[in-house]
């Protein structure tokens, strides 16, 4: 369909870059040649208040994001698959207490940590997902096992942990996930909830309070393109502070929080999960590319900056097409994000 000359491709890349900048999308244009491999991550989007962000804390975030990027880069550089890179990268973010996934997961109303994750292989549309586990140190690795070692896509709750044990995954004690910061956030939210109840305010208002926390969307995600040209995407989260009723958001839902397809793109999302499920965000970006011919930047913008905004959904996505072009639109104040090129050049950003 397209003239495949370098001149045309380079011109398209420049136009695309301008379009992305003008619409609030962050991107790393690939230039005239397709990169050997590339990897991008997010560490959640939301109201990242600049006044609460000290230089020391920001340095910690940037250091962990860069460490995750370099971990994934090493996998890809050594010829590893995009799936391997996605798992290795997300495990770094899960092991950091800064992000709402793995170690840093928020607390449920009952004072537990309830974890969801999913992964998808763009080369064959295989996928794995887990929801509602309490003792899995690295949920993304378990999602990978569901994909590779079971005939299923999605396992939940105690059953998912039973599968983990049978696969030789070492479960951790619930206290592994305890952090002062998240425990305090739960207590603050419950206190605000009680006050709101006394003031006669409804449940929606109460949850809105909970979501006003700085770390409301600390979900982590990764998209990668490997040397073989295969795309993969993964997402991991602790969900919402003070969540109850076994609530599941978009992170473990294939097509919503995570989607990958070599024909189009790899996507990982972060935001108000309910809106992302209703909008089938990941697959919608892919479909706009495949059926309407949009670029990854235009497709991601259409979904995040228009459709989700009209609906009231806050958050963002990272999306990478099969040529390594990256789009990172978000409609919130900030989104922890970064990408790394084949030559090891790292870019990490937080605000717009």
Provide the binding-site residues for its own copies, judged by CB under 8 A. Answer: 120, 125-127, 131-132, 150-160, 162-163, 203-204, 207, 244-249, 253-256, 259, 273-274, 277-280, 283-284, 287-288, 291-292, 311
Q: How far apart are CA 256 and CA 112, in angstroms?
A: 25
| Of residues 92 and 281, the one with the C-beta less far from its own copies | 281
Task: Name the one residue in this structure whose structure tokens are 């951790």.
Answer: 172
**Is-contact 254 264, C-beta < 8 A?**
no
Minimum Å gap between C-beta 97 and its own copies is 26
Q: Is 235 a catalytic residue?
A: no
Minimum Å gap between C-beta 174 and its own copies is 16
Minimum Å gap between C-beta 125 and its own copies is 5
| Of residues 221 and 338, the one with the C-beta less far from its own copies | 221
CA 108-271-82 angle, to 5 degrees, is 100
Element (H, E) at 274: helix 273-278
Instruction: Give buried/exposed letters for 229-249 (b at 16+ CB in 10 A, else e).
Output: bbbbbbbbbbbbbbbeeebbb
Burial classification of residue 191, based on how many CB atoms lie within 10 Å of its CB (0-12 exposed, 13-18 middle, 19 or more buried) = exposed
Show the tokens assigned to 119: 């992964």
**Is-contact 95 101, C-beta < 8 A?**
no
Minimum Å gap between C-beta 288 and its own copies is 6
| Of residues 221 and 324, the one with the C-beta less far from its own copies | 221
Task: Name the one residue in this structure whose structure tokens are 């690295």.
Answer: 138
Minimum Å gap between C-beta 207 and its own copies is 5
| Of residues 156 and 331, the one with the C-beta less far from its own copies | 156
Q: What is the DSSP string of 40-97?
A: EEEEEEE---GGG--HHHHHHHHHHHHHHHHHHHHHHHTT--HHHHHHHHHHHHHHST
Q: What is the SS3 string spanning 176-238?
A: HHCCHHHHHHHHHHHHHHHHHHHCCCCHHHHHHHHHCCCCCCCCEEEEEECCCCCEEEEEEEC
Show the tokens assigned to 285: 């970006």
| Of residues 79 and 246, the one with the C-beta less far from its own copies | 246
| Of residues 167 and 347, the one with the C-beta less far from its own copies | 167
Minimum Å gap between C-beta 222 and its own copies is 19
Q: How far apart are CA 109 and CA 192, in angstroms?
A: 13
Which residue among 81, 219, 237, 241 is the active-site one?
219
Answer left, alpha or beta for residue 124, where phi above 0 means left and psi between -120 and 50 means alpha: alpha
| Of residues 14 and 311, the one with the C-beta less far from its own copies | 311
Task: Name the one residue in this structure whose structure tokens are 């959640």.
Answer: 44
Minimum Å gap between C-beta 282 and its own copies is 8
Active site residues: 219
């Amino acid at each position: 369909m397209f003239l495949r000359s370098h001149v045309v491709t380079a011109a398209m890349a420049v136009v695309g870059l301008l379009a992305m900048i003008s619409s609030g999308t962050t991107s790393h244009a690939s230039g005239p040649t397709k990169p050997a491999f590339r990897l991008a991550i997010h560490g959640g989007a939301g109201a990242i208040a600049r006044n609460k962000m000290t230089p020391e804390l920001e340095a910690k975030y940037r250091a962990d994001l860069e460490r995750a990027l370099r971990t994934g880069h090493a996998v890809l550089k050594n010829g590893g698959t995009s799936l391997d890179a996605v798992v290795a990268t997300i495990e770094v973010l899960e092991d950091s207490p800064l992000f709402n996934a793995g170690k840093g997961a928020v607390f449920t109303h009952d004072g537990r940590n309830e974890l969801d994750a999913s992964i998808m292989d763009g080369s064959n549309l295989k996928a794995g997902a887990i929801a509602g586990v309490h003792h899995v140190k690295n949920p993304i690795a378990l999602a990978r096992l569901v994909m590779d070692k079971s005939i299923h896509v999605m396992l939940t709750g105690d059953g998912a942990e039973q599968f983990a044990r049978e696969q030789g995954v070492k479960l951790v004690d619930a206290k592994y996930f305890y952090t002062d910061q998240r425990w305090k956030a739960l207590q603050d939210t419950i206190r605000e909830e009680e006050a709101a109840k006394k003031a006669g305010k409804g449940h929606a208002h109460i949850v809105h309070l909970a979501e006003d926390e700085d770390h409301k969307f600390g979900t982590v995600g990764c998209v990668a393109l490997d040397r073989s040209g295969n795309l993969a995407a993964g997402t991991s989260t602790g969900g919402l502070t003070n969540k109850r009723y076994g609530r599941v958001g978009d992170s473990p839902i294939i097509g919503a929080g995570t989607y990958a397809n070599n024909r189009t793109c790899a996507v990982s999302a972060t935001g108000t999960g309910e809106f992302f499920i209703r909008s089938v965000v990941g697959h919608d970006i892919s479909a706009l590319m495949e059926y309407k011919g949009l670029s990854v930047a235009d497709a991601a913008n259409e979904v995040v900056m228009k459709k989700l905004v009209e609906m009231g959904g806050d958050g963002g996505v990272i999306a990478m097409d099969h040529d390594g072009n990256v789009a990172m639109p978000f409609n919130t104040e900030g989104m922890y994000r970064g990408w790394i090129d084949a030559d090891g050049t790292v870019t990490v950003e937080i605000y717009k």
